[in-house]
Amino acid sequence: MMKVGLIADTHDNMTKIVEAVSLFKANGVELVIHAGDFIAPFSVRPFSELGCKLIGVFGNNDGERIGLLKALEGFGELYAKIASIEVDGRKIVVMHEPEVVEALKASCVFDVIVYGHTHNPLMERYNGCLVINPGEACGWLTGKATVAVLDTETLEANIYEI
């Protein structure tokens, strides 16, 4: 069993990023998945305090891609559009924009589909697959900053306000 932190759309809100890192550490998270829109490389710094690996994808607002890759050196990996990973025997796919979510749900290939971009938290099941958008960690658009923690054994997740 592993706990995985899910986060998206941090948009340089350093206060909320630090709060998310604290929440993940308090929940014993062993991996963090970021579904894009970090924005600037400086905003990655607090994630180095996680004590675990971060896997993420670029979002549509991530312009300084080389800087972001360099900022994550030593503790993180970033993928261009989609990351397909296996965690604790579970197949997880991560993307920023939800354009292929429906097709991925219908494929029944993945146990978990994670995306961001909409800034709205969502959690639903489809043919045994958990589809989750942790919402916006920055809180800029909705006024509500959220992240999620996934349990890989039960495939249950909780969305937390930070």
The full set of domain ranges for the chain reads 3-161
Other CB atoms within 10 Å distance of the CB of residue 24: 28
What pTM was computed for the model?
Answer: 0.97
Q: What is the mean pLDDT of residues 72-89?
A: 96
Q: What percent of the chain has pLDDT above 90?
A: 98
Q: Model confidence over 3-15: pLDDT tens digits?
A: 999 999 999 999 9
Burial of residue 70, with CB atoms counted within 10 A of its CB: 0-12 exposed, 13-18 middle, 19 or more buried: exposed
> What would the 3-class secondary structure string for 136-151 be?
CCCCCCCCCCEEEEEE
Q: What percent of the chain has pLDDT above 70?
A: 100
Other CB atoms within 10 Å distance of the CB of residue 36: 26
Q: What is the mean pLDDT of residues 102-131?
A: 96
Q: What is the mean pLDDT of residues 18-43?
A: 98
pLDDT value, residue 28? 98
Per-residue confidence band for 81, with pLDDT thresholds at 50, 70 and 90:
very high
Q: Which fold has domain 3-161?
A: Purple Acid Phosphatase; chain A, domain 2 (3.60.21)
In angstroms, the CA 23 to CA 73 distance is 23
pLDDT value, residue 6? 98
